[in-house]
Structure 1
């Protein structure tokens, strides 16, 4: 096998002429096993073709699932400006509480769901929870009072909890670190499309007011819930499980994908490759769960995600209301949210492509938080009555920061966490806590603060400032740890580690360099 092929797989051993310490007997044996296995691998002529096959088979269906998820949880904002609160006799505080309770069950069940996804088939788990929330969504269309709506939102949070963290983790089981953000953005851009589509859909469905003796806002819930169940049934056939059982790949392609993922732990940018081939740890034990909670990076990463989730839910739940309070009718407000989400979806994909191509994570996140900061300051300080166009422009800036930023944050933690089960737990904690903080957004936009909503915008600015602090702290921490690891390698302190030991160490391995 050629040196080029060995290098492509990220496992080129040191040169025999290297002045470094001679390899141990165990390392020589491991290298011989590695060379034997390399020789047995089938040649892959076109790597890009295989990745495209995976993209076409996985990303569209996942995007559709998440589009329905985000559409269903956020449609209450569209229903409200069509008369939901008036018909159910809700006060402003009661409506906000209906938004809030969703996050309690949604955040609590995200980590258990990721653990279940690893143990069960994604083709069973993801469509099943989708059927469940589709039923809840449909029943939400027949609630008659505050208590009924409150209960429906509790169960909607419970049933939707597993999708976003589950899919975010599922993608890491298919794609290497250098490819993950673009795919996450492709999948997450469905949230932007859902925002745009929800306005258009609500505008159309609201015209059904009176059909079957039901108000227009009820039909929003009913029709979207039925559509969710139908798509979930199709998903049982369309969602694939893992690379080793993927029927759309031939045997050579499956073996190649498995190999790339198995040893992806060695492929951090600018890292010094270890003298032995190291397989990523796939243990599914409680020890891996403890490793996740003991990892210092988890907590600033989780706060960073919360810093973007609170503004996200502020936009998704209240954007129609904010736009309507600029002096527009309900119908026009629904339509005017569409271009905001469209621009955000395009920006998400473009930023992710740049991020993966050039290996940039935190620099682009700084740009995202700057956009959000300027947008909220504009909306908060320029009169919404005298200059509504300035508030509307601020909404664009906020969306340009929010929607591209979320895939970046999720990918940053994913890139810097090694060990499949540990990564799944870490991502579940990050996303779960972030969504729990999302409950804050449902309480800070009060009806009495319209149309300026200074309280809500001001709290969003506070979270954005928290995000800046987290990015700074994480970069300082990664810089210090990476510097220490490189010094250990340069001083020859790491030659005694075996492949098994390095695998168990995961991202604590001296050869694992954290991405900035």
Structure 2
């Protein structure tokens, strides 16, 4: 296959900005050049025949093996993170003598650890095989969760929660990168929803388990039993992750050799590759200077401020309505159910209509309305207060939309791992800020904190609009690059089609798709199309 791109004399002079690395990767027959995807060494210069039936078969196999592990491990991560709130209503604050803002700090320190660890996380995701990295992270935070049960003071809780956050730091960016390396862009919103949707399941499970374990009258406190129970489940899951997970498509044990080639081919239209083990500093700098990166990070901060409030203070806010600890746990089950039923329809609609920004903005309306209701209603009006609190759960439909929006718009293994780590850092910053907006002296109304939540939600809506404008401008720039390089101005984004379609059948040109596995970034690859 001819990998050269015809250029006019004017085209060459106008596009000196292409780096030497990109020119090397685009050199004729160099799909296996140093720095390209590992998949490039397997598929070489071939274009593999692939039918829609083949596409569905490989997707089903990938779902059974890869998606199932992502769902289970993300469920464990949310479960371990959320039980702190239930521990609080079962006496953790009193038993550990927490005063003032100490409980808020115990909650926030996990996010501080995640924030500090993100630069190293991005390097680990690129360099360490995922089959080794994920079980190590799972084992680490599971042990930290069990150790929390042995704490009897503020210092002990602070140390163990810090370690829990440290090991959980790589979870979201790792899962996002894995999803992008195994699935077509059209498939990604629903796959992200599947593993992120366990947020609601974990919330319901934690509420039910805390209620059940809270009935035990044993030698240790109920919150200690809860921490030991969920921590041991996590620790025992680490070996399972190692046995089931595969590193990438070239090393997939559940695919035949021919199916590996087909699995790679079906991702060609993504233009985002299947993963390289080379950590490229040029991609780091590109990630840092792009406005797109910082707008996504801004979304992460704003959205997770409110999410942190509900995770940490949700059970406490409900108990402020006048319920005892057991009933407060049970009344948080519907909150998790609302999360679950919002995440999947929102992600499906984003998949169906091939747009994420509009539905992301739409689900923020109930969140804003719920915060307003919590602010204005008296605390003796319990049914509307509960309805308002449950409306905040719509917020959890936002993260999977943002994550799938991000991984669809970022190419280059290093660049993607860096931006996803920065996104997780933004989430961590939101998780740090969120609990600090609420102080126990403002109970039970928490009006100052609710005012800030409303303002932050409005800011998130503004950032979504700015990102759409930014991506529209970026697509116009891509069109100009294609014209200068002798390619069509407009190309159909086949990765967003619901059925698998090859470039040949599309008729958009035989040369399109040759950059797909060269580990080029989205801005380096003129065939990349940004999605809204």
TM-score class, shorter: 0.7 to 0.9
Distance in 2, matches of 1:326 and 1:461, equals 21
Q: How do 1:79-478 residues align onto structure 2 when only pairs under 5 Å count?
A: 79-209=87-217, 211=218, 213-265=219-271, 283-383=278-378, 385-400=379-394, 402-478=395-471
Which residue is equivalent to 2:498?
Answer: none
Is 1:76 matched up with 2:67? no
What's the TM-score, normalizing by structure 1? 0.86
- Looking at structure 2, the residues matched to 306 and 228 of structure 1 have their Cα atoms a distance apart, in angstroms, of 27
SS in 2 for 1:241: coil
TM-aligned CA deviation for residue 263 of structure 1: 4.6
SS at match of 2:241: helix
Instruction: State whether residues 127 and 278 of structure 2, in contact with CA within 8 Å, keep that contact through their aligned partners in structure 1.
Output: no
SS at match of 1:109: helix
C-alpha contact 2:279 2:414 (8 A) present in aligned 1: yes
**Contact 1:262/1:280 (<8 A) preserved:** no
CA contact (8 A) 1:265 1:279 kept: no
Quote the Cα distance in structure 1 between the aligned partners of 2:366 and 2:477. Answer: 34
Match 1:54 to one of 62, 68, 74: 62
- Distance, in Å, in 2 between the alignment partners of 1:453 and 1:281 is 48
Structure-2-length-normalised TM-score: 0.83
Report how far residue 280 of structure 1 moved: 8.9
Q: Is the 8 A contact 1:280 1:420 kept in 2?
A: yes
Report the secondary structure of 1:92's partner residue.
coil
**Which contiguous aligned blocks of 4+ residues in structure 1 show a shift greater than 6 angstroms?**
26-30, 33-36, 278-282, 500-503
Q: Which residue of the partner structure matches residue 530 of structure 2?
A: 514
Change (3 A) 1:244 1:504: closer
Quote how far apart the aligned CAs of 1:345 are.
1.0
Deviation track 1:278-335 (CA, whole Å, cap 9, x = no partner) reads 9998853111111111222101111011111111111111111111111111111101
Gaps of 5+ in 1: 1-5, 15-20, 267-277
Deviation at 1:42, TM superposition (A): 6.6
CA separation of 1:53 and 1:397: change in aligned 2, threshold 3 A: same
Aligned equivalent of 2:486: 495
Q: Relative to structure 1, is the Cα distance of residues 259 and 218 closer, same or farther in structure 2, using a 3 angstrom cutoff?
A: same
Deviations 1:357-408 (A, max 9, x none): 221110001102212111111111112x2312222111222112x1111011
Q: 1:389, 1:471 → 2: CA distance? A: 33
Deviation at 1:143, TM superposition (A): 0.8
Alpha-carbon distance, 1:248 to partner: 1.1
Deviation at 1:190, TM superposition (A): 1.0
Q: How far apart, CA to CA, are the structure 2 residues paired with 1:250 and 1:463?
A: 49
Deviations 1:99-148 (A, max 9, x none): 12111111221342232122222121111111111111111101111111
Query: Pairwise mapping of residues 12-27 of structure 1 onto structure 2 (< 5 A)?
Result: none
Q: Which structure is higher in helix share? A: 1
Equivalent residues of 2:264, 2:274 under 8 A apart: no
Q: What is the SS of the residue equivalent to 1:452?
A: coil
Alpha carbons of structure 1 residues 392 and 149: separation in structure 2 relative to 1, 3 Å: same
1:29 and 1:120, CA in 2 relative to 1: closer, same or farther beyond 3 A? closer
Secondary structure, in 3 states, of the residue corresponding to 2:187?
helix
Worse-superposed segment, 43-52 or 175-184: 43-52
Structure 1 residue 201: Cα displacement: 0.7
CA contact (8 A) 2:48 2:261 kept: no
- Residue in structure 2 matched with residue 64 of structure 1 by the alignment: 72
Distance 1:117 1:456 in 2: 36
Q: Which residue of 2 aligns with 1:17?
A: none
Count matched residues. Answer: 480
Larger deviation, residues 233-242 vs 331-340: 233-242
CA contact (8 A) 1:263 1:280 kept: no
Tell me by how many angstroms 1:486 deviates: 3.1
Output one character per residue of 1:409-454: Cα deviation in whole Å (capped at 9) or x when no partner. Answer: 1111211111122111111111112212210112122222222111
